[in-house]
Amino acid sequence: MKAVVLIAVLALAYVGVPLVFGGNAYILGLIVAALTIAGVSVAWALLGNLGGMVSFGHAAFFGVGSYVSAVLAMKLGVPVFAAMVLGGVGAAVASVATMPALRLKGPYFALAMLAYAHIFQILATEMTPVTGGAGGLLSIPRFPTVMGVEFGEKTGGYLIVLTIVVLAALAYDAIRRSAWGLALKAMHDTEQATRVVGVPSTHLKAAMLVLSAFITGVVGAFNAHFISFLQPDYAFASTWTVLPIAAAIFGGYRTVWGPVVGSLAIYLLDQLVFKELMPHGHQLVLGALLCVMILFSPGGLMPLLVRRRRRKKEGVQAHAHA
């Protein structure tokens, strides 16, 4: 995305959306939920695209980040913003436990990560003195008011999660353009050959896993303080894995902004359109839409839009030369 377009979109997102929807708590709440999914989706795409690993277990990092942040804020009095960052650190540390799975490839890695998510969920349920057990944690501290901005309200929460998503996408873009990104792309074609020329493929994969877990943990921590309660079944729910994957594929997980566009598109379409038309079973329409997208544009929505824009531009140029 060109810098001018990106700045215009960000200005619209930071100023335009609060001005238009600031008085509509329902719509703004849906946008916050869509951006929460977008944050996990970007983290998942970073690991899937650059690390070449498809994970079915990002709910593990989401849940760990949620609980670490909530427990630090509730029991140790850590300021909420600092606790949110430490929630990401907790998820990154937890990702070290999943690193034996890096030896696996394809569906075996994906299933191993799914198993880790279930293990973390069981631990959160059993560690009752710390996590509250199956009953969970209530009255988790909300975001404070800073310089007159009430971050505990929906508009403040929107600004926080938007900032998390933008920073995650910019980090994704920076890594993709770096020497690390080039090495990771080369690993997709032939990992053995890159090892021969001295590329530390295992270390790079591990770094992508830790970074992806950190981002997911921060998003999970944000969600815990935004909704102010937490239960193991909710924090480690498969929703936090399935929806981000669907959004990333729909938007185009090999592009930086595809997961963000995909998350906003499928979640808002589902909640504002499909749910109104079909109160029960509206997810079927979403599934059908995803199938259509995969069949007609396997790369996702963003590559499709880029191709259409390029064809239109070429058509205009051809018409001008005629």
Q: Is 259 left (phi over 0), alpha (psi -120 to 50) or beta?
A: alpha
Q: Identify residue 289 by its one-letter amino acid code.
A: L
Quote the CA–CA distance of 221 and 92 in Å, as a whole number. 13
Quote the CA–CA distance of 63 and 236 in Å, as a whole number. 5
Of 85-99, 150-164, 251-265, 286-300, minimum mean pLDDT range: 286-300
Give the sign of the dihedral formed by CA 124, CA 126, CA 131, CA 134.
positive
pLDDT at residue 189 tops 70:
no
Residues with Cβ within 8 Å of 278's Cβ and at least 6 positions away in sequence, in order, are 284, 285
Quote the CA–CA distance of 10 and 98 in Å, as a whole number. 35
Can you state the angle between helices 258-269 and 25-45, rounded to 10 degrees? 140
Beta strand pairing call for 149-150 and 229-230: unpaired
Domain count, the chain: 1
pLDDT tens digits, residue range 102-131? Answer: 888 888 888 899 999 999 999 999 999 999
- Range 263-277 average pLDDT: 88
User: Which pTM does this prediction carry?
Assistant: 0.89
Confidence band, pLDDT 50/70/90 cuts, at residue 274: confident
Residues with Cβ within 8 Å of 239's Cβ and at least 6 positions away in sequence, in order, are 59
- 147: domain range? 1-320
pLDDT tens digits, residue range 128-176? Answer: 999 988 888 999 999 998 888 889 889 999 999 999 999 999 999 999 8
Confidence band, pLDDT 50/70/90 cuts, at residue 82: very high
Closest alpha carbon to 141 in 197, 87, 62, 205: 87
3-class secondary structure, 276:
helix
Helices (H), 232-282: 232-235, 239-251, 258-269, 275-277
The domain that holds 299 is classified in CATH as: 1.10.3470
- CB < 8 Å & 24+ apart, contacts of 170-178: 171/46, 171/211, 171/215, 172/42, 172/45, 172/46, 172/50, 172/256, 173/256, 175/46, 175/50, 175/211, 176/49, 176/50, 176/256
Can you state the angle between helices 258-269 and 283-296, rounded to 10 degrees? 140
